[in-house]
């Protein structure tokens, strides 16, 4: 079982609905948090809410190549007991019509930024620590009208599986969580296209609670059917 109390956890995408919910639950379990997200104002608001649980915060856009180094620098010399990757953007539209700027941002934020981040923070992870990455149900079931987004999430899931094999030598557990559609409001803020009519999504609080349970219970794979 992973003990969260007193553990230093880096939360990427902390200003999103799901990232904030995860941060709240980590704080409830006694974790010490370094928060990262695009909006400095939203980070400050969340840090104010969580109080002494927050030991650091850094506004960074994973779409820029220097952001992983900036995030790692914010950790200072503190050991790292966990990483939660909850950042992401979404786009809609036929595969053959998605433009280059949209493809680039999807890849940078959803996948490449995370890969670059892990290069610089993995050495800071202590034995018995964890990495929890949030991909999505589309990693299991690529969806028409979301081909590019599905590809980034499938790539994230595949990267996590390989990372599991590599980091276990370091004593680090990797969890790939693939929640179904969740009411985070992300679909209403696409970087391109327009969302199709979607069924009622899962409650973000319930999804976050399930992921925290999986982290504490040392689960390695959390498919969409587990929510």
**CA proximity to 1, closest of 105, 91, 130, 106:** 130
Q: For residue 65, give the CATH number of its domain.
A: 3.40.50.720
Per-residue pLDDT band for 115 (boundaries 50, 70, 90) equals very high
Backbone angles phi, psi at 78, to 5 degrees: -75, 135
CA distance 203 to 187: 14
Domain that holds residue 177: 8-226
Would you say residue 102 lies in a domain?
yes
Whether residue 25 is contained in a domain is answered as yes
Query: What pLDDT score was predicted for residue 197?
Result: 86
Classify the C-alpha dihedral 50-52-56-58 as positive or negative.
positive
| CA–CA distance, 161 with 158 (Å, rounded to integer) | 5
Within a domain: residue 52? yes
- Six token digits for residue 220: 């390695």
Q: What is the CA radius of gyration of the chain?
A: 16
pLDDT at 203 over 90: yes
Residues 14-60 pLDDT 10s: 999 999 999 999 999 999 999 999 999 999 999 999 999 999 999 99
Q: What is the C-alpha end-to-end distance of the chain, expressed in Å?
A: 20
Q: How many domains does the chain have?
A: 1
Measured in whole angstroms, how far is the alpha carbon of residue 54 from the centre of its chain?
A: 18
Name the token pair of 200: 């009622």
pLDDT at 181 over 90: yes
pTM > 0.85: yes
3 lies in some domain: no
Structural domain includes residue 2: no
């Amino acid at each position: 079982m992973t003990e969260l109390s007193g553990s230093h956890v880096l939360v990427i995408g902390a200003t999103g609905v799901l990232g904030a919910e995860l941060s709240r639950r980590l704080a409830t379990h006694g974790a010490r948090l370094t928060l990262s997200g695009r909006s400095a104002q939203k980070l400050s608001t969340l840090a104010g809410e969580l109080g002494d649980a927050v030991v650091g915060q850094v506004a960074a856009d994973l779409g820029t190549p220097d952001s992983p180094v900036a995030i790692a620098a914010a950790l200072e010399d503190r050991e790292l007991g966990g990483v939660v990757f909850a950042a992401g953007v979404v786009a809609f539209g036929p595969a053959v019509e998605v433009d280059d700027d949209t493809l680039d941002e999807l890849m940078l934020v959803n996948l490449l930024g995370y890969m670059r981040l892990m290069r610089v923070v993995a050495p800071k992870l202590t034995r018995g620590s964890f990495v929890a990455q949030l991909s999505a149900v589309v990693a299991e079931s690529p969806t028409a009208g979301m081909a590019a987004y599905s590809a980034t999430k499938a790539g994230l899931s595949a990267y996590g599986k390989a990372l599991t094999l590599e980091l276990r030598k370091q004593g680090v557990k990797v969890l790939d969580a693939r929640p179904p559609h969740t009411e985070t409001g992300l679909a209403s803020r696409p970087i391109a296209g327009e969302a199709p009519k979607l069924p009622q999504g899962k409650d973000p609080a319930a999804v976050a609670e399930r992921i925290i349970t999986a982290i504490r219970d040392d689960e390695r794979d959390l498919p969409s059917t587990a929510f």
